[in-house]
Amino acid sequence: MDPSQLAELRTMYVFTPIEGQSWGLTYESLRDRLLERDPDEFIRIDNHGQIRGSAMHYGITLDDEELEGFARLQPEGISVLDCTAQSAANFVGWLREHVVPDGMAMTFNTAWGLEEDLPDATVPDVTRPRLVAVFLAHLEALGLD
């Protein structure tokens, strides 16, 4: 697959704290950050009980692109659905600025990476263009055709 095709691929990106760490994520704090951006943002919390646990579904608009995702407290993480590498990098910028505590690291994976049992990778603290390159390298390593 050529680089322009990789750049257009859409998948779910999942962002989590480094194993053994916590961002102290709560649905209330995430809801507040989302509503600060846009008071009309879509937010829904589903409580599925003891087996499946709860999840927060949300919408977020970044660079005029409407995205949806979900967050979970157990295991702790935030995902963004149907997303390009560029959009995922923009989302990471927002997470670092508004959700992830200063000095805390995060990992990432994609739906395809999870299906292939790829381990989570650390999200490097680099510029957005370089972060896009990291996400594209992840997709390329999957050998998508």
Spans of all domains in the chain:
3-141
Spell out where 32-128 has E strands. Answer: 43-47, 54-62, 65-73, 76-83, 106-110, 121-122
Q: Which pLDDT band holds residue 50 (cuts at 50, 70, 90)?
A: low
Is the pLDDT at 49 greater than 70? The verdict is no
Is the pLDDT at 2 greater than 80? The verdict is no
Q: What is the per-residue burial (b if ≥16 Cβ within 10 Å, else e) of 117-129?
A: eeebbebeeeeee
pLDDT at 51: 54
Is the pLDDT at 145 greater than 70? The verdict is no
Q: Which pLDDT band holds residue 45 (cuts at 50, 70, 90)?
A: confident
Predicted TM-score (pTM) above 0.75: yes
Is the pLDDT at 6 greater than 90? The verdict is no
